[in-house]
Structure 1
Amino acid sequence: MVRDPGSDRVYLLDLYDPRYAQVHPLAPSMESLRRLVDAVADFDGRCGRFADLTGHSGPEAVREASERLVAVLGGESWAAQDWGVDRGPEQWPLALPNLWRIVAVVKPLALIAAPGRGLLLDLPARALVDVFGEDGVRRFAPDELPSALVHEPTRRFLGEVGLPKEAPSFCAAGPPDAPLRTLAEDHAESARNPELRHLYEDADGHPPVADADQRLHLGSTPQDVDVVLDGRTGAVHHAPCTYDRLTPMNADISSLAFALWMHGTARDLVERHDLKGGTDDFYVHLAEILLATLAAWDPGACRESNSQGDPDDPDARDEYVYWPEVFHDAAGGAL
């Protein structure tokens, strides 16, 4: 962050390479910056001017919160300043600089859900349909859920809300309408498949986890890890294809569905409001605010890793914290 002493304007400094240093509008003045930060803190805490949003949830709550944030953040004297190559609010989407419009459209996404009934959160039944389409969401009939899934809130969620068949960071397991399989069943079936046999050549040295008959295979990811549901507790993990080791991914199925919904929604918001900037200058800011929004519900899903995680490296697998890896994958175009 830098300040122009002549005008008092405040900028974000992009100093990836000193030869190509760039500055981006942040606030018309230091006093304005304090007001902007206070407004975001009020929203995060649902206090002050945003106190009345407490207890509100659903699509209308998301829309209202975003509109109010845009109004509050846009209430500063942006148009009274000369922002040079960044032009001004007449050219900015939502009449806000990049960072503040990311805040204004991403942070309200947390309001789509309310506290859950036996799960972390209660996602509206049509939330996934609104993003992935009616044919893009699978809801499970009781006979499509194996007896190993004894966690009743998870059974209810899969029947009422379901999961996307295909999302930017998830692909549902098996053919449509096929029952979910336990890890033990899926491991045995995959190991017999001639096209997959090479993946299981060392399977004897990496047997599936001891309770593989009580965990379910939900789907796969572009990062070549599988999504696993604990049928007893409802916790969600990721695992290599051999299922010999599990790493926490989401607290439960509702948090997983929220993360998938948010990722799908963010793809549309990025394009509509130019959230990443012309040369992806704000990609890292977008990733961090998405993670903060997910962490508001499920802090464990966004925990920091102690090293550079690699899902293919057995020694680093515990450190592969899925959602931070996904959202920060600028090279892979995750956002």
Structure 2
Amino acid sequence: MSTTDAGFTAITLTEAELDRYVSHAPTRGLLTGPGLPARTDVLTFSPLRTHGLRTLADAAGGPFHLAEELRSRLVIGELLNPAGMESESILLDGATGEITTAYLFEPSDPRPFAPSLDTLLRFAAVTEELAGLRGRFASLAGQYGPTTAAEASRRLLGLFEEGTDGKVPPYWKAAALIRPLALVAGPGTASGLTLDVPARVLDQEFGHGRVARFEEVDFPATLTHEPTRRFLRETGLPEEAVLFHADTDMPLPTLREYVTDERAGDYALDDLPAHCDHLMRLGCLTEGNSVVIDGRTGAVLTFSEPEATLYPLNTDVSTLAFTLWLLHHERTIDEHLGRELTTAAYDQLAAAMLHTLTTLDPTATLPDTTWHYWTHLFQDEAGGVL
């Protein structure tokens, strides 16, 4: 095996290394010639550098009873799933060149990934073009909104359909339908927040009259972060969204007021955060989680009522609105497709959702985020939120 020196950008194998394992001529030519990138935006082949070519039987180990046709598949890489998710391995059929994926702790059910290694590299390359708005997506640079996201999705899905007879594997279909949604909202040049989320985007998604916009009298005096006040007045939040219910019946309370009025006797006030008068309750999530805003900074947090503990949720109210939009829109996509993604590849759909969210809001990946509601929610297949 050899790699290039500058950044280890390619991994190649020798004819001798392939002889025992790979008979498919185009695959041999690729592996001994141009080679494989060590890493792309969505996957890595670095296990080849660490372990060399290994069969699935050797890599999985343990008391698995693998079908004979699976034992000889080669582990050549991994999907780059968001932190906290299990690594899914990329498998090569050395006789046919077909690419599948499987978890090494449960390798009995490989899933289709690409008809060939060459096609896989093309899929990864066009996904990177989308992420950087380069190449076939360059004309979309600087454009945002649902129409732009839909166009990016159409282009990416069309590129994936080439060479697959229109049968796009679930991982790439999730990528084509979900990742372009990061283009729905642009950077917050006008709002002073992370994102500029036009009010019409929420109205179109949730329906006119179903987005709560607040007045000055609704805000406690300790909400001093002006971009947050303006966003809540002019753009607002959905009254009802997936697992979220906004407080709209009365002026928005501070966390101290909420606990005193609504949860009297459940907590000693001394157990509340020291800055609870600067935390404003926007609404509730599931399982006793309140959504609160730090009135000084605009940061959005969850207050876990069972634990009386604060956890980061979103950078600010603009990324909270985008997250609620994303969850609602995913269900619209799911209805259009039936249950294809959620039944065949829930974990791959969850990974696409988390990637899209963290592209715009890195809260889940920050060092001080020890637990994150959205990450937990998206990964909970049993809960069925996606």
1:233–1:268 Cα change, 3 Å: same
- TM-score under structure 2 normalisation? 0.71
Kindly indicate whether the alpha-carbon contact (under 8 Å) linking 1:98 and 1:277 is maintained by their aligned counterparts in 2: yes
Match of 2:158 among 63, 66, 71: 71
Aligned residue for 1:134, secondary structure, equals coil
Structure 2 residue 314 is matched with structure 1 residue 250: yes
Deviation, 1:214, is 1.6
Tell me whether 1:115 sits opposite 2:187 in the alignment: yes
Structure exhibiting the larger radius of gyration computed from Cα positions: 2
The alpha-carbon deviation at position 74 of structure 1 amounts to 1.4
SS at match of 1:237: strand
Query: Are positions 1:50 and 2:137 aligned together?
Result: yes
The within-5 A match list for 1:24-35 is 24-35=111-122
Moved more, 44-53 or 117-126: 44-53
Q: For residues 365 and 331 of structure 2, what CA distance do their matches in structure 1 show?
A: 19
- Counterpart amino acid of 1:298? D
Match of 2:261 in 1: 189
Partner residue of 2:32? none
Question: SS in structure 2 opposite 1:319?
Answer: coil
Matched, 1:287 2:374: no
Q: Percent identity of the aligned residues?
A: 38
Task: Give the Cα–Cα distance (whole angstroms) in 1 for the partners of residues 287 and 385 of structure 2.
Answer: 11
CA distance in 1, matches of 2:308, 2:102: 45
**Structure 2 vs 1, CA of residues 123 and 287 (structure 1 numbering), >3 Å: closer, same or farther?**
same
170, 193, 205: which one pairs with 1:98? 170
- For 1:243 and 1:230, locate their aligned partners in 2 and report how far apart those are by CA, in whole Å: 19
Partner of 1:319: 370
Q: CA deviation at 1:321?
A: 1.2
Question: Distance in 2 between the 1:243 and 1:150 partners?
Answer: 27
Q: Does 1:260 align with 2:332?
A: no
Which residue identity does 2:304 align to in structure 1?
Answer: P
Instruction: Tell me the distance in 2 between the aligned counterparts of 1:303 and 1:282.
Output: 27
| Match in the other structure for 2:297 | 233
Q: Does 1:130 align with 2:217?
A: no
Q: CA deviation at 1:255?
A: 0.7
Alignment of structure 1 residues 142-291 onto 2, 5 Å: 142-173=216-247, 175=249, 178-192=250-264, 197=265, 200=266, 203-204=267-268, 207-241=271-305, 244-274=308-338, 276-277=340-341, 280-291=343-354
How has the CA–CA distance of structure 1 residues 285 and 36 changed in structure 2, closer, same or farther, with 3 Å as cutoff? same
Shifted more, 261-270 versus 142-151: the winner is 142-151
Contact 1:187/1:243 (CA < 8 Å) preserved in 2? no
Distance of 2:161 and 2:371 partners within structure 1: 38
Counterpart of 1:216 in 2: which secondary structure? strand
What is the distance in 1 between the residues matched to 2:150 and 2:94?
38
Query: TM-score under structure 1 normalisation?
Result: 0.82
Query: What is the distance in 2 between the residues matched to 1:334 and 1:70?
Result: 24
Structure 2 residue runs of 5 or longer lacking an equivalent are 1-89
Deviations 1:206-260 (A, max 9, x none): 5322222221001111132111101111001111237943221111000111111
Shift in Å at residue 135 of structure 1?
2.9
- Where does residue 101 of structure 2 map in the other structure? 12
Q: Which residue of 2 aligns with 1:308?
A: none
Greater shift, 47-56 or 324-333, is seen at: 47-56
Deviations 1:188-217 (A, max 9, x none): 11244xxxx4xx1xx227532222222100
Kept in 2, the 8 Å contact 1:137–1:163? The answer is yes
Q: 1:304 to 1:31 in 2, by over 3 A?
A: farther
Q: Please report the RMSD computed on the Cα atoms of aligned residues, expressed in angstroms.
A: 2.2
SS of the aligned residue for 1:78 comes to coil
Q: Which has the higher contact order (CA 8 A, sep 6+)?
A: 1
Residue 73 of structure 2 is matched in structure 1 by none
Measure how far apart 1:23 and its partner are.
3.0
**CA–CA distance in structure 2, aligned partners of residues 211 and 17 of structure 1:** 47
For 1:273 and 1:23, how far apart are their aligned partners in 2?
22
